[in-house]
A and B are shown apart, each in its own frame.
Chain A
């Protein structure tokens, strides 16, 4: 009987396969619940080389593996941490950084000036394509490390190699001292160096000069309070354990498991089931039940996110400032933050985030106050367009609030308002670059360092990296630059505030909302705080005994 045997074999094979499927895994949950370690949920980091880690997941993990030059106190003023002292010259151009001695990387190498200089040169060198390379653009010699395609991206010529491989602005004085020369005076430089991109790299990182060794990123070695246990288990987890003889501030927990989630709702399910100890962002779908599920372990704190819409300067119909003011007045921000965001964001009435020094509430004045009657009068007098559009990327959960905003504008101004959908942010940018009529552009900003300048520069300066709408005002640009060059932080803030006042008059964008950290934690941990970058403070968190 030819058929019988394969039939039985198939059944047997199935049984074996099922057995294999069942037995393949297991044994991962060996840490007992009494141990002094915590599990914090994150998303898969894109990169762990500090100069390439620009998103919050990577930054969060790196904060446990590295010890920064400076950190920030409650008022967001920089404090030297790994640095003994950071002193500028009189012009705020040459900064001398003295490192604390005795610090080592977790592999035993001492931390020296070279570790910083080499890492920063690598980060700034254009062909390395490091995401955070723009942080180094204030250092002298940055331009020589970049290459420019002579005939544009489409042209046949290849970009030439950059003129130099190292920044002329970085100079070693001795093993624990080095100087940074900026290309222009900048009083806030100390704050900038608090960012992830400024971490040092050990000698073990390099295969040869300026080339990172294969596999270093997966087993990264830092100078921080924790070291990576094993390797980066992509899409699964990163386990870090305490460095035994760490010289700096010692954290209260013995280890952290950075558990990687693809979906915040899955993470929330695990938080409720006590499988993860901290969730830094509770998804909006779960907000309604979070208070009931977590009680007082559901918390909010300010962060630096700033949400707004911009008016493209290439569209004539928005050139009249009264049109822009009227649209802004037509929007009821409070209603949207309450109804759509369930209080997880707050209305914005200024052009910078409340978390930076120099912030003043309500600089936007009556332009950001909901006043449908005045809005309609202004709009009709200014003969605004009969239909306006708010273009957004659909992959970012923006539909609900854009539609609500449109409905408010419709009701207030008596005109038509539609949401323009683009699949991704890149598609939106392409249309803006081609000057297609996109209408109002949905935008958001998270700061890199806690200074007003980090909002004013990139968002509203003529050559700002995220000024997609093309706003340009020479007086404004000068004020921002003067502020950066000012001798003291107080003088800088004065200049920057003057610059912000120009924005309030001209309304190049409509401020909409300021973000908040909306986080929760399990019963196992206490003292959970999040900083302005939505990072858990790993030095404060502790396990409830």
Chain B
């Protein structure tokens, strides 16, 4: 187990450098004229251009720029955004609110999809099963760019149940609507996978044995069947994190939440290389750790799995 974790951590270091290098290279290739992008349609004076080019090493080659950047990151300095703010400050402003939003969304999605998935598996072919199939199909078909403004219009403005926007220090209730919207993108697959997996396991030999032993139906389903059915679901939740963060770009925009998604969108727009790479680096680390956690959870769910 310990050796397994160490090996994974070493692999992570490689993945981290590979991923940041790739993102940096992509941003560099896409970067045409960040100084003009920064000022929009205003003319840039020559001395302004000279000063900014020098400040951000824009006249250096790709590897030199990457070297400056990595040197900074490894000493804990994420550099300065093109707007002049410290990227570290921007990240410490943006991450907490996105983190809270993501956690609420993940929990809502997991709780709803597992409960509904199990229930529709038990009542396979019933009204609940069929109607959730329909609803999840509709949810799958609707992109988040439609769901988010629609939810804002209906629940935020017309019914007035929720505030139409949230701020950086939003309360749990203010974040609830954006989180539900965010959860919508992952609820459908998670629920379908839970249902299929539970249906399969209900036919397994050990279920018949457990029933024959005289265990109650509830215990058979919620302890024996569910635990064995959760492995694919847990994998999916781990992977879904990526989808949630992509969805956060739209959701945060619509609900005016100054989090990671917003900063990423703005940074890409203004060709702000260091800012994009800074946020993506943290994203990569997060993604790697969550997937390690998911892999370790397998052992908890299925004792037969051993890590070497």
Q: Quick check: is A427 within 8 A (CB to CB) of the other chain?
A: yes
- Nearest CB to that of B99 among chain A residues? A21
The answer to whether B36 touches A429 (Cβ under 8 A) is yes
The answer to whether B85 touches A270 (Cβ under 8 A) is no
Q: Quick check: is A269 within 8 A (CB to CB) of the other chain?
A: yes
Residues of B near A21 (CB, < 8 A) are 99-101, 103-104, 172, 175
The answer to whether B83 touches A46 (Cβ under 8 A) is yes
Identify which of A203-211, A220-228, A257-265, A383-391 touches chain B.
A257-265
Q: Quick check: is B163 within 8 A (CB to CB) of the other chain?
A: yes
The answer to whether B299 touches A3 (Cβ under 8 A) is yes
**Per-residue CB proximity of A348-363 to B under 8 Å, as 1/0?**
0000000000000000
The answer to whether B169 touches A27 (Cβ under 8 A) is yes
Q: Quick check: is A36 within 8 A (CB to CB) of the other chain?
A: no
Residues of A near B300 (CB, < 8 A) are 3-4, 6-7, 10
The answer to whether B164 touches A234 (Cβ under 8 A) is no
The answer to whether B269 touches A236 (Cβ under 8 A) is no
> Using a CB-CB cutoff of 8 Å, which residues 76-101 of chain B contact chain A?
83-85, 89-90, 93-94, 96-97, 99-101
List 11 A-B residue pairs with CB atoms under 8 Å apart, sorted by A's residue number. Answer: A3-B299, A17-B103, A25-B169, A126-B48, A134-B45, A153-B59, A159-B54, A262-B262, A266-B152, A266-B253, A395-B269
Other-chain residue from A54, A130, A425 in contact with B36 (beta carbon distance below 8 A): A425
A153 in contact with B301 given A24-B96, A26-B169, A266-B256 (CB within 8 Å): no
Residues of A near B47 (CB, < 8 A) are 126-127, 129, 133, 145-148, 159, 162
The answer to whether B165 touches A275 (Cβ under 8 A) is yes
Q: Quick check: is A83 within 8 A (CB to CB) of the other chain?
A: no
The answer to whether A267 touches B299 (Cβ under 8 A) is no
Q: Quick check: is A466 within 8 A (CB to CB) of the other chain?
A: yes
- Given known contacts A25-B170, A237-B167, A266-B164, what 13 new A-B pairs fall within 8 Å (CB)? A10-B297, A21-B101, A28-B169, A47-B83, A129-B47, A129-B48, A148-B50, A233-B168, A234-B89, A234-B93, A235-B93, A267-B165, A425-B40
> Using a CB-CB cutoff of 8 Å, which residues 273-308 of chain B contact chain A?
296-297, 299-303
The answer to whether A260 touches B41 (Cβ under 8 A) is no
Residues of A near B303 (CB, < 8 A) are 1-3
- Nearest CB to that of B234 among chain A residues? A10
The answer to whether B41 touches A234 (Cβ under 8 A) is no
The answer to whether A424 touches B37 (Cβ under 8 A) is yes
Number of A-B contacts defined by CB within 8 Å: 193
**Per-residue CB proximity of A104-140 to B under 8 Å, as 1/0?**
0000000000000000000000111111011000000
Other-chain residue from B39, B89, B252, B258 in contact with A54 (beta carbon distance below 8 A): B39
Residues of B near A395 (CB, < 8 A) are 269
A270 in contact with B33 given A25-B100, A129-B51, A149-B50 (CB within 8 Å): no
> Cα distance A513–B173 when bound, in Å?
44
Q: Quick check: is B255 within 8 A (CB to CB) of the other chain?
A: yes
Q: Quick check: is A55 within 8 A (CB to CB) of the other chain?
A: yes
Residues of B near A381 (CB, < 8 A) are none
Residues of A near B45 (CB, < 8 A) are 126, 133-134, 146, 465
The answer to whether A6 touches B296 (Cβ under 8 A) is yes
Residues of A near B219 (CB, < 8 A) are none
A465 in contact with B43 given A129-B51, A159-B50 (CB within 8 Å): yes
The answer to whether A2 touches B107 (Cβ under 8 A) is no
Other-chain residue from B37, B39, B103, B171 in contact with A18 (beta carbon distance below 8 A): B103
Other-chain residue from B42, B153, B174 in contact with A131 (beta carbon distance below 8 A): B42
Q: How far is the CB of A283 from chain B (nearest CB, A)?
A: 12
> Cα distance A266–B85 when bound, in Å?
25
Q: Quick check: is B53 within 8 A (CB to CB) of the other chain?
A: yes
Residues of A near B258 (CB, < 8 A) are 234-236, 260, 262
The DSSP consensus for interface residues of chain B is helix
- The total of chain A residues at the interface (CB under 8 A) is 71
Other-chain residue from B38, B49, B51, B255 in contact with A266 (beta carbon distance below 8 A): B255
Q: How far is the CB of A42 from chain B (nearest CB, A)?
A: 12
- Nearest CB to that of B105 among chain A residues? A21
> Cα distance A24–B100 when bound, in Å?
8
Residues of A near B252 (CB, < 8 A) are 262
The answer to whether B256 touches A153 (Cβ under 8 A) is no
Q: Quick check: is B13 within 8 A (CB to CB) of the other chain?
A: no
- Nearest CB to that of B38 among chain A residues? A46
The answer to whether A426 touches B90 (Cβ under 8 A) is no
The answer to whether B103 touches A266 (Cβ under 8 A) is no
A148 in contact with B256 given A131-B39, A237-B167, A269-B156 (CB within 8 Å): no
Which A residues lie at the B interface, using CB under 8 A?
A: 1-4, 6-7, 10, 14, 17-18, 20-28, 46-47, 54-55, 126-131, 133-134, 145-149, 153-154, 158-159, 162, 217, 233-237, 260-263, 265-267, 269-270, 272-273, 275, 395, 424-427, 429-430, 443-444, 458, 465-466
A47 in contact with B50 given A28-B167, A260-B258, A275-B165 (CB within 8 Å): no
Residues of A near B97 (CB, < 8 A) are 25
Residues of B near A4 (CB, < 8 A) are 300
Q: Quick check: is B157 within 8 A (CB to CB) of the other chain?
A: yes
The answer to whether A234 touches B165 (Cβ under 8 A) is no
Residues of B near A127 (CB, < 8 A) are 47, 50-51
The answer to whether A130 touches B59 (Cβ under 8 A) is no
The answer to whether B51 touches A444 (Cβ under 8 A) is no
> Cα distance A197–B266 when bound, in Å?
26
Q: Quick check: is B193 within 8 A (CB to CB) of the other chain?
A: no
Other-chain residue from A3, A149, A267, A426 in contact with B256 (beta carbon distance below 8 A): A267
Shortest 9 CB-CB contacts between residues of A and residues of B:
A126-B47, A22-B172, A235-B258, A426-B36, A129-B51, A269-B164, A465-B43, A21-B100, A25-B169
Residues of A near B36 (CB, < 8 A) are 424-426, 429
A126 in contact with B50 given A7-B300, A27-B169, A261-B256 (CB within 8 Å): yes
> Cα distance A128–B85 when bound, in Å?
15
Q: Quick check: is B55 within 8 A (CB to CB) of the other chain?
A: yes
Residues of A near B164 (CB, < 8 A) are 266, 269-270, 272-273, 275
> Using a CB-CB cutoff of 8 Å, which residues 17-76 of chain B contact chain A?
32-33, 36-43, 45-55, 59
Other-chain residue from A7, A20, A28, A427 in contact with B301 (beta carbon distance below 8 A): A7
Q: Quick check: is B122 within 8 A (CB to CB) of the other chain?
A: no
Residues of B near A22 (CB, < 8 A) are 100, 104, 171-172
Residues of B near A159 (CB, < 8 A) are 47, 50, 54
Q: Quick check: is B160 within 8 A (CB to CB) of the other chain?
A: yes
Most chain A CB within 10 A, of B41, B90, B300, is at B41
Residues of B near A14 (CB, < 8 A) are 107
Residues of A near B167 (CB, < 8 A) are 28, 236-237
A273 in contact with B163 given A10-B297, A21-B100 (CB within 8 Å): yes
